[in-house]
Amino acid sequence: MMMKEEEKGNTCMITIMSPTKTFNDNICPLKFDIEAMAFKDEIKELIAILKKYDVSEIMRIMKVSKVLGEATYKKYKTFDDDIKGYEAIKYFYGEAFKGLDAATLDEEDIVFGHNHLVILSGLYGLIKPLDIIKPYRLEMGTKLKTANEKDLYGYWKDKLTTYMMKSIEDTSGEKVLLNLASDEYSKALDLKSIDEKYKVVTISFKENRDGKYKTIGTYAKKARGLMARYILKNKIDILEDIKYFNEDGYSFNEEQSDDNNFIFIR
């Protein structure tokens, strides 16, 4: 899907999400072009490092089985050989993206998402919905050593924070970073520095269990996707409008929330 110039528009609020480890193999491939990615040089550097690892090293740093280690080893060894890639918003297939349900979004929703939604990634740094990506496995928490850093947090934090600060600065209206990412991925940004200059709001979803509200991983992941879908479908650019989210039985809880944390309960 190509965006026309007039569709690019101005962005007010930017939302970050985590990626997933599973992909939807039932969509049509497109041409992958690493040069079109925001961090093309960094991606090339990480791939070059990963190509030097054998299967046992992949298994060790990624904490995966031999089967997954062999599959991941092959992906990186042949990364440059295959030009096939996939539209990111439709390719990710974990719980959050099942909640987002990109296949049922219309073109206008997805274009809005491309301007407002960022998916953080251990390999790509960040991915926008219409970016074409290749399948990969590299979680942000992986202790992958680079020339100057001991892990991916050190590698990406300054780069991603600078990029996001510039993106927020370029917005019109409210300058807000809405955090729908997991702790593993949101730690790749210096949220404190961003909040000092702009505003960061983290969204949490909690379930009532015997009178106590708890975050339950699988439900929270799906709810993050539902929230992202709500933002895209309703073209939400104003932070206050987030509070009206009521999908899947959730509602905004003012008592548990504060200026930097919006809590939704059910």
pLDDT digits (tens, 9 = 90+) for 195-252: 999 999 999 999 999 999 999 999 999 999 999 999 999 999 999 999 999 999 999 9
Looking at the predicted structure, is the pLDDT value of residue 8 above 60?
A: no
Q: How far is CA 87 from CA 29, 30, 169, in A?
A: 8, 7, 27
In the chain, the percentage of residues whose pLDDT exceeds 90 is 91
Looking at the predicted structure, is the pLDDT value of residue 10 above 80?
A: no
Mean per-residue pLDDT for 26-47? 97
For helices 66-77 and 40-51, angle between their N-to-C axes, nearest 10 degrees: 120
Q: What angle do CA 246, 195, 224 make, to 5 degrees?
A: 25
Looking at the predicted structure, is the pLDDT value of residue 21 above 50?
A: yes
For helices 217-234 and 107-116, angle between their N-to-C axes, nearest 10 degrees: 110
d(CA 152, CA 125): 10
Per-residue tokens: 182: 């997991």
Helix/strand/coil for 79: coil
Looking at the predicted structure, is the pLDDT value of residue 5 above 50?
A: no
Confidence tier at 264 by pLDDT (50, 70, 90): very high
Predicted local confidence at residue 156, as pLDDT? 99
Predicted local confidence at residue 11, as pLDDT? 55
d(CA 128, CA 178): 15
Predicted local confidence at residue 99, as pLDDT? 98
For residue 56, what are the contacts with CB-CB under 8 A and spacing of at least 6?
69
Chain position carrying tokens 């096939």: 84
Largest CA distance in the chain: 55
Which stretches of 59-116 are assigned E, i.e. beta strand? 84-87
Predicted local confidence at residue 160, as pLDDT? 99
Confidence tier at 12 by pLDDT (50, 70, 90): confident
CB distance 125 to 38 below 8 Å: yes
d(CA 110, CA 3): 10
Chain position carrying tokens 């015997």: 210
Note the pTM of the prediction, 2 decimals: 0.93
Mean per-residue pLDDT for 32-54? 97
Domain boundaries, the chain: 11-265
CB distance 154 to 54 below 8 Å: no
Q: What angle do CA 191, 196, 200 make, to 5 degrees?
A: 45
pLDDT tens-digit readout, 116-174: 999 999 999 999 999 999 999 999 999 999 999 999 999 999 999 999 999 999 877 78
Predicted local confidence at residue 172, as pLDDT? 73
Per-residue tokens: 34: 């690493």
Q: What are phi and psi of 79, to 5 degrees?
A: -55, -40
Q: What angle do CA 144, 147, 148 make, to 5 degrees?
A: 90
Mean per-residue pLDDT for 16-20? 98
Bridge partners, 81 (sequence order):
none
pLDDT tens-digit readout, 63-93: 999 999 999 999 999 999 989 999 999 999 9
